[in-house]
Structure 1
């Protein structure tokens, strides 16, 4: 992935916002916006942003699970299944 062509000053974004948003909607790579020569923001398609957030959430769940494993906070599979079976169901409320 090469971002060098997708680094633009904020003035470029202001002047070309509609075209940039259309490109992003069509699958273009995110755009890095600069201000005074420094990277300040990334503009990306909302679908890509949502996918990234979902991926981060899954990675966090995995990391928490690994932490539980290392700390010994586990129970045997059969016990977990029995606990789930004995839980009151939502429609029973």
Structure 2
């Protein structure tokens, strides 16, 4: 995690409101530990949504690369010709 703050779970329990405010203001996630081990990441909902959108785009790119590697491709000229036929119909 880039520049995430790290706090123990006891801090989360006793400072939830201020944590929510700080994360909303900074946009930086908070890493919560339990017994010295990373357990949770608390993050702003907008940052979470952006992360999910980024992951969805990366998945689409990976699927596209898989199609290319498997030879499931068409020339752009053929695709545009088919689209033009559909528009004319």
Query: TM-score, normalization: structure 1?
Result: 0.81
**Given the alignment of the two structures, is residue 57 of structure 1 paired with residue 46 of structure 2, yes or no?**
no
> What is the rounded CA distance, in whole Å, between the counterparts of 1:40 and 1:63 in structure 2?
29
1:22-41 matches, within 5 Å, as 22-41=21-40
> What is the rounded CA distance, in whole Å, between the counterparts of 1:23 and 1:81 in structure 2?
50
Q: Which secondary structure state, in structure 2, belongs to the residue aligned with residue 26 of structure 1? A: helix
CA deviations 1:26-83 (Å, max 9, x no partner) are: 1241001111111101000010011111011101101111111111101111222244
Which 5+ residue runs of structure 2 have no aligned equivalent? Answer: none
RMSD, aligned CA? 1.6
Which 5+ residue runs of structure 1 have no aligned equivalent? Answer: 88-93
> What is the rounded CA distance, in whole Å, between the counterparts of 1:84 and 1:61 in structure 2?
22
Equivalence for 2:3: 2
